[in-house]
Structure 1
């Protein structure tokens, strides 16, 4: 394990907000070449953010992106996760400050994730393109257990949005609340939900409420990462984009706005873009350095 004196600089960025007090903070290590798994987990635990990103440059490039290709790994305070959207956005914006805006490509445990970084009206934004997504049914007994852990009566669910497990780099259980008040009232059994999520290999539970045809409010319990709630969740946003697209709940070509973090006092905004003929989901957001 690397000594504290030899550890690389750990940057702090927030994703899905242009303000340091909003969005979801992530640690970013731009050169993790000499870190082992224990080092990365220790850094993530010390920071206490829902995830931190650790990058290693790929000199030979990836998919033709010589000089702008990186292997990236993500650690929560408890464990490594296969993919994390907000830490991807944070890492891309941090990299853009070093190598300039433009196209980047990340090799993740879930697959190759292209990211584009650009300045829009004075704000730096990153857009990631997910791996190919898919949906899965959830067993009735498992759904009952999830609702019991959340203390959500089944009658409080929106019947227009059937429960599903959605994947776009990581697995998320999608549950839709019938009212904004139901979404706002989140006090769940941490250990009980954590146990179920480990058994089903879930990264978060994506709780949503539909405000309008293309505007949603979302929350993401994340007990498997040692965090009660994730303030802004790009991986879950991508999974949700796949969910609404496959079930025909929005038009094939749609731009969705997801509001997250309001109930935590860290408001963030995620833009989810769906394209006809391309199953991959684009998730965009602003980001900025913290401190």
Structure 2
């Protein structure tokens, strides 16, 4: 198994045939999220007018684009800055993706400001703004998060698929299933070396994740109380690993809150994608009394 790139990446395709719609090929934009440079972050497709596409067509586009996810705007009220969005991996629809690409793409056209995204996971409020360097960044506020301790059988099956043992885990950060729009299993590695040496059984982990309904396995290592490193295997989406996972970051913020590791409003930095050669920076805003987590990141338009 390789772990330095997505399994089906296709950087050259720009359009895919529409199924069940008007027959016109949709315009597909490509952005990279949680980075300010095109060679970092999580590449994603964005279709700003998918009103003529059905689910099969959107899945076909996502499969041809080949990134971890492609976002589709299926309905729009531009005056109210409110949009209905669906997300597809190359293999299946995903209820919620927390990357900033679709919000930044909309802000590039409408100007910075507040947006509302209606997703299958719920309504997501997003604020977009231009930073001092002229880049657009977005802050989304998740649906209410929750987190529970992982069951013994869930943990055993996952460790077997990863090729990890219980001694590879950080005992201070217990395994949990955390929700921030999707369910993610959170496993904390005992060392940075363990996190870096990711080499797992793709089919076995996909089967475990389908069995329990997880979108990714969020593997983390704690550098400090406010800085973590993460890797997110995503075999159920058809890719080996996600370079940056905003939805998992939201769930992870809820996990930290549930464990009582954040006792006052705080920002947590998650560094992801470094071991893939696509470094990404996600900033999580956690408030102890609020189950909704804020995830902030920049995004850049990729060249065609």
When the two structures are superposed, what TM-score results if normalisation uses the length of structure 1?
0.95
Match of residue 35 from structure 1 = 53
Structure 2 CA distance, aligned partners of 1:67 and 1:90? Answer: 19
Which range moves more in the overlay, 270-279 or 168-177?
270-279
CA contact (8 A) 1:10 1:27 kept: yes
Structure 2 CA distance, aligned partners of 1:7 and 1:155? Answer: 51
CA contact (8 A) 1:214 1:250 kept: no
CA contact (8 A) 2:257 2:288 kept: no
Which range moves more in the overlay, 156-165 or 115-124?
115-124
- Taking the TM superposition and a 5 Å limit, the aligned residue runs for 1:1-291 are 1-2=19-20, 6-59=24-77, 66-86=79-99, 89-122=100-133, 123-291=135-303
Shift, 1:5, TM fit: 6.1
Aligned residues: 284
CA contact (8 A) 2:254 2:293 kept: yes
Q: Any idea what SS the aligned residue of 2:37 has?
A: coil
Structure 1 CA distance, aligned partners of 2:264 and 2:22? Answer: 50
Shift, 1:67, TM fit: 2.6
Structure 2 CA distance, aligned partners of 1:161 and 1:238? Answer: 17
Unaligned runs of 5+ in 1: none
CA contact (8 A) 1:245 1:252 kept: no
Q: Deviations over 1:174-193 (max 9, x none)?
A: 00001000000000011111
Moved over 4 A (4+): 2-5
CA contact (8 A) 1:194 1:223 kept: yes
Unaligned runs of 5+ in 2: 1-18
Structure 2 CA distance, aligned partners of 1:183 and 1:249? Answer: 21
Shift, 1:276, TM fit: 3.7
Shift, 1:43, TM fit: 0.5
When the two structures are superposed, what TM-score results if normalisation uses the length of structure 2?
0.91
The CA RMSD measured in Å over matched residues stands at: 1.3
Structure 2 CA distance, aligned partners of 1:4 and 1:158? Answer: 53
Structure 2 CA distance, aligned partners of 1:3 and 1:274? Answer: 42
CA contact (8 A) 2:262 2:286 kept: no
